[in-house]
Amino acid sequence: MEVGAFFSSLKNCFKSITRIGTDDPRRVLHSLKVATALTLLSIIYWGRAVYGITRLVMSVMTVVGVFEFSVGGTLCKSVNRICATLIGGALGVAEQHLATALVEIEETVLLLILVFILGAITTFFRFFPKIKAIYDSGVVIFMTTFLLVAFSKHGVEKIFERLLTILIGIITCTLISIFIWPVWAGEDLHILLASNIETLANCLIGFEVNYFDNQIRDKSVLQGYETVLKSEATEESLTNLARWEPAHGFFRPRHPWNQYKKIGAFIKKCASKIESLHDYLNPEIPISSEFKFKIKKPCSRIITELYKALKVISSSTEIMVHPSAAKRHIEKAKAAAEELNFFLETVSLEEAKFLSIIPVGTVAFILEEITQLVEKIYQSIAELSELAEFKNVGEVTVSPEKPHVS
Amino acid sequence: MEVGAFFSSLKNCFKSITRIGTDDPRRVLHSLKVATALTLLSIIYWGRAVYGITRLVMSVMTVVGVFEFSVGGTLCKSVNRICATLIGGALGVAEQHLATALVEIEETVLLLILVFILGAITTFFRFFPKIKAIYDSGVVIFMTTFLLVAFSKHGVEKIFERLLTILIGIITCTLISIFIWPVWAGEDLHILLASNIETLANCLIGFEVNYFDNQIRDKSVLQGYETVLKSEATEESLTNLARWEPAHGFFRPRHPWNQYKKIGAFIKKCASKIESLHDYLNPEIPISSEFKFKIKKPCSRIITELYKALKVISSSTEIMVHPSAAKRHIEKAKAAAEELNFFLETVSLEEAKFLSIIPVGTVAFILEEITQLVEKIYQSIAELSELAEFKNVGEVTVSPEKPHVS
């Protein structure tokens, strides 16, 4: 039995390994890239007695600490590491100059006081969320460089040697990161945005099929809004990293990365509205079928048009074309929402029970709010496409069929 | 002018420093603790030529890498660092044994292949979210130990020396972390939970005052639900760290940390329902004041009772007493919800416009859902208090006055 349990847990482990790899095969490539950098540096320092093992270890530390998944991450960490080395080295040299006027015991006290003060300050600064995210590994480098220079009385040439080792490590990482299967944070952010918009479209149409047609659909599609809501942290870190990246492909210098935050905020709001919609799929909530049937037509029209609009926005974002083709779908959705509003204002309610009408009315109400949000998403993407000078030609259309029909 | 701008940015910088410090003064203490550990280790290795500067640098790396804010964090990182050193060292020794049978060029090739394979594997494993969170810094230690042992033909005694240096660093950190102003992740988690429940209570009563009494309240209280929704990641990491901590104060060994996740999930759901409620404070939404006046009494009763229940649950959680005193408030809230339900079922709607009634009806509907969720929060906290053997005696009561009245 125990052998069986061992094999099943081994199987699970293997499964999660393959899932991590197949979810994004670039992860495997990244691992190979890091391994290549490590091996290259091992070859460089191999057998060179003058550099010795400490240089190799320092290079390995540089690679492991600097080589991030995206180009932006690698560049950000590299700059941070160079700065930490320079500042630590400079402080160490300053301490040496200060110490020349002191006797040994005085210098010891001075050094210990400096260690205490610098230790306290660097630790305290890690509590700043922004510094924590970017400069964390720099603290180690800063402190060790300072200590090496101050304690062991390294001269300026030793500091340059140390800097050179780190630079060789960083250059190796940067070159491999940029030129061998590069992973651009900016591109990932752009694609994430487009795919989030598509997910919203699918969730909306999934809700319609489920609510108005009583068909049960794939739950993973239905709950896509959760993925969208959870992607906030990823989006933020990608935006921060994208700023570090040089122009590449369609992304020119000074690409308006700030606009992505604005669009992302509207997408999040829309996703949380869709989440509220999906709450009303709960079969325990009393629903007046009669009233639902009455509002089905305008609601379906709103959803279908919003679906088309979101699909067009998503695909035109993806290929970097102005989303103007979505405009008429949004207009149609707004017209349908007006119609629904008019119906709700004039409907007579004498025959139905209020308790079972509220939830249906709320669904209609939320759909109207979603219409407004989709228009805001459209406007912010249109702004982006103007700022980033997307192509204006060519219309992106979407097949009028719903994906679940096929 | 430029001098003025410089001084204002300096002032801002100073402000945010004091804010980080005053938000949680333990941060300042933590910085001083880390600085103390660094200074102590500097004194230990000071002038000992036999250990030399590399030992000092390794200790500093250990302190900076291991000394976390909470005791749990420090212990987790310490164990991880020791394991990484042991595994790296063992692999290095194994390589040495393998290499005895090889000529030099063969050994070089073997080593480079091993560097490549280990580099690729360790990098790949960082993509597992769980490993990333806990074992990240261990990767550097593992690789450098392996390389030091394998490349420089360190014997077993050298490895033990390295391990000893790391151990001295870790013991210093752990002792300072546990015995000088300790910060327990478990305690923080417990207090966070209690304060989140209190925030929900304040948000609810804030909504009532705003919606039914048309008074505008402090916006920071109103939007407390955002803080609660955002605390998910903090909660998760605190739960993971709390498991590492030894028994302390009221927290016995095998404290049911898993239960906190369950409670947290209900709190999150409740917060997101309160978020939906607050959407209806938007003045652009048409509201039938007449209908609102009709449901005001039962809704206010629900909210007041839920407020009291949440306050009692929060304060009894904080002092680790069974929340049984909240039971009757929940029963009263449920009775009021029944009453509201009956009213909604029997209300006549002929005179009012449906469009302005839906939003009000939805508010009533969401309040009923919140009542159910508060009961679930109560039940899960009651479960926790049984699992963790909270005191059963003594009733926690809450003053019947609303806080905003005072």
**Close Cβ partners of A211 (under 8 Å, ≥ 6 residues apart):** A277, A280, A281, A292, A363
Tens of pLDDT, residue by residue over A10-21, are 888 888 888 888
In order of A120, B19, B178, the CA distances from B29 in angstroms are 9, 15, 13
- How far is Cα B320 from Cα B343, in angstroms, rounded to an integer? 39
Contacts of B132 in chain A (CB under 8 A): none
Give residue for tokens 């993925």.
A227
pLDDT at A404: 43
Question: Minimal Cα–Cα distance from A304 to chain B, Å?
Answer: 23
Among A48-52, A373-377, B65-69, B134-138, the least confident range? A48-52
Question: Minimal Cα–Cα distance from A364 to chain B, Å?
Answer: 10
Contacts of B344 in chain A (CB under 8 A): 354-355, 358
- Greater confidence (A393 vs A307) lies with A307
pTM of structure? 0.83
Residue A358: which of B27, B119, B361 has the nearest Cβ?
A: B361
Residue B53: which of A34, A36, A151 has the nearest Cβ?
A: A151
- How far is Cα A40 from Cα A34, in angstroms, rounded to an integer? 10
**Close Cβ partners of B224 (under 8 Å, ≥ 6 residues apart):** B199, B200, B202, B203, B206
Among A211-220, A395-404, B243-252, B363-372, the least confident range? A395-404
Give residue for tokens 């207009």.
A331
pLDDT at B374: 94
**Close Cβ partners of A34 (under 8 Å, ≥ 6 residues apart):** A63, A64, A67, B119, B120, B123
> What CATH superfamily is the domain A186-387?
Phosphate transport system protein phou homolog 2; domain 2 (1.20.58.220)
Contacts of A77 in chain B (CB under 8 A): none
Contacts of B16 in chain A (CB under 8 A): 128
Structure tokens of B224? 């407390």
Q: Which pLDDT band, with edges at 50, 70 and 90, does A305 fall under?
A: very high
Verify whether the Cβ–Cβ distance B56 to A341 is below 8 Å: no
Kindly give the confidence (pLDDT) of every residue in chain B, 406 residues in length, as a single tens digit, with 9 standing for 90 and above. 567 888 888 888 888 888 888 888 899 999 999 999 999 988 887 765 545 677 888 888 889 888 989 999 999 999 988 998 889 888 888 888 888 877 777 888 888 898 899 999 888 888 887 777 666 677 778 888 888 787 776 667 777 888 888 899 999 999 999 999 999 999 999 999 999 999 999 999 888 888 888 776 666 667 788 889 888 888 988 998 998 898 888 888 888 998 999 999 999 999 989 988 888 888 778 788 888 888 888 899 999 999 999 999 999 999 888 888 899 999 999 999 998 888 887 776 666 677 788 888 888 889 999 999 999 999 999 999 888 887 765 544 554 444 443 3
pLDDT at B69: 92
pLDDT at A405: 34
In order of A57, B105, B163, B297, the CA distances from A54 in angstroms are 5, 22, 17, 76
From the list A147, A32, A137, the residue with the least C-alpha distance to A79 is: A137
Does residue A370 have a pLDDT over 90?
Answer: yes
- How far is Cα B160 from Cα B264, in angstroms, rounded to an integer? 44
Mutate to test the interface with B, among A124, A148, A274 (most CBs of B within 10 A): A124
For the segment A176-200, the average pLDDT, to the nearest whole number, is 93
Verify whether the Cβ–Cβ distance B123 to A345 is below 8 Å: no
Verify whether the Cβ–Cβ distance A61 to B144 is below 8 Å: yes
Residue A67 exposed, middle or buried by CB count within 10 Å (0-12, 13-18, 19+): buried
Verify whether the Cβ–Cβ distance A361 to B364 is below 8 Å: no
pLDDT at B370: 93
Mutate to test the interface with B, among A48, A57, A112 (most CBs of B within 10 A): A57
Interface contacts (A, B; CB < 8 Å): 173
pLDDT at A150: 79
Q: Which pLDDT band, with edges at 50, 70 and 90, does A50 fall under?
A: very low
CB B300 within 8 A of CB B212: yes
Contacts of B85 in chain A (CB under 8 A): none
Q: What is the location of CATH 1.20.58.220 in chain B?
A: 186-387
Q: Which pLDDT band, with edges at 50, 70 and 90, does A406 fall under?
A: very low
Tens of pLDDT, residue by residue over A115-144, are 899 999 888 888 887 777 666 677 778 888
Rounded to the nearest 10 degrees, how much is the dihedral formed by the CA atoms of B76, B81, B87, B90?
-140
Contacts of B357 in chain A (CB under 8 A): 361
